[in-house]
Amino acid sequence: MLIIIVCLVMFYFGLKMVFINGKHLLMILLTFEYLILVIFLLLMNLFMIYFYDISTIIYFFIVIVCESVLGLVLLTLVVRTHGSDYIKSIVSLL
């Protein structure tokens, strides 16, 4: 039960960091990765305690890796086309 409470507190601070560091696309992507790893930790604890199933966790981890690669590719494309990763400069060019 303590692990679940710690994970929820970590998730809260991760969401707080998204709103504080919302100027750079790279910082948002890094914070989202942190949030996904917290969710992964929470799911791993829940599945290992209650369901004893590791295959769902492996599928979730595969989706996490694909999502992070896609985020880095999009960040690279945005920096190459717009010149920076500032959110305001990207929105103003659209």
Whether the predicted model's global pTM rises above the 0.85 cut? no
Contact between 13 and 35 under an 8 Å Cβ cutoff? The reply is no
Residues 6+ apart with CB under 8 A from 34: 14, 17
Residue 82 — left, alpha, or beta (φ > 0 → left; ψ -120 to 50 → alpha)?
Answer: alpha
CATH code, residues 2-93: 1.10.287.3510
DSSP state for residue 47 in the 8-state scheme: I
What count of Cα atoms within 13 Å lies in the side-chain half-sphere of residue 74?
A: 11
pLDDT in tens, the chain (94 residues): 788 888 889 999 999 988 887 788 888 888 888 999 898 888 888 887 777 777 888 888 898 999 889 988 988 888 888 777 776 666 665 5
